[in-house]
Amino acid sequence: MAPSLLRRETEEYDRARGRLFSGSSFEASSSRSSSSLPPVKRELEELPSVKMEPEAEAVPERRAGAVVGPEDFLRPADADSLLPVLLARSARELEEYQQRRRREEEIRTVLYEQGVASVIAFGHKVKEWRREATAQKRIYVELSSDEDDD
C-alpha cells in the first residue's frame, strides 16, 4: 500500500463508490455479505509490528547437488542416539511394505481366481446354450411346410 494513501482519501472513495452503486443489485448483495466489515485501508503506522527472532545458528551452505543428511543438523552426541531410531523406523517401514505387498498379492490372487471361475462358468453356459439350440432345432417343426400339406 502506498504511504500517500490516507484514510481520508479511502473514506472519500468509499462514499463515492456508494453513490455510484446505490440502488443496484451489487450494493444489496454486498451489503448483506459484508455489512459487519466496512472497507477500510490501513496506514503503515497502524499495522502491528512483527517480532523478529535472531537466527540461532548459521547453517553452512550446501554444495550444489549435495544430499542433506542427519549429520548436517545434529551434534555428534545426538547422532549416536539417532541411529537406533532410524534403524527401528526403517525396519518398521520395511515390515509395513512387506505386509502391503502380501495384501496386494492376496487381492490379485483372489481377483484372478474369481476371473477364472467366471470364465469357466460362462463357458459352461455357452455349452448349455448350444445344447439347447441344437435340441430346439431337432424339435422345431416348420409351420410353413405343414401348411403346404393341407
pTM: 0.36
Q: What share of the chain is helix, strand, coil (3-state, %, to 5)?
A: 65, 0, 35
CA 42 – CA 19 distance, rounded (Å):
22
* Residue 129 maps to a domain: yes
CA 14 – CA 69 distance, rounded (Å):
56
**Which whole number is the average pLDDT over 79-97?**
87
* Residue 100 maps to a domain: yes
Q: 10 Å Cβ neighbour count for 21?
A: 14
pLDDT at position 19 over 70: no
Domain that holds residue 23: 8-41
C-alpha cell at 73: 543438523
Instruction: Report pLDDT digits (tens) over 43-80.
Output: 666 666 666 666 655 555 656 666 776 666 767 777 77
* Residue 59 maps to a domain: no
Q: Count up the domains in the chain and report the number.
A: 2
* Residue 54 maps to a domain: no
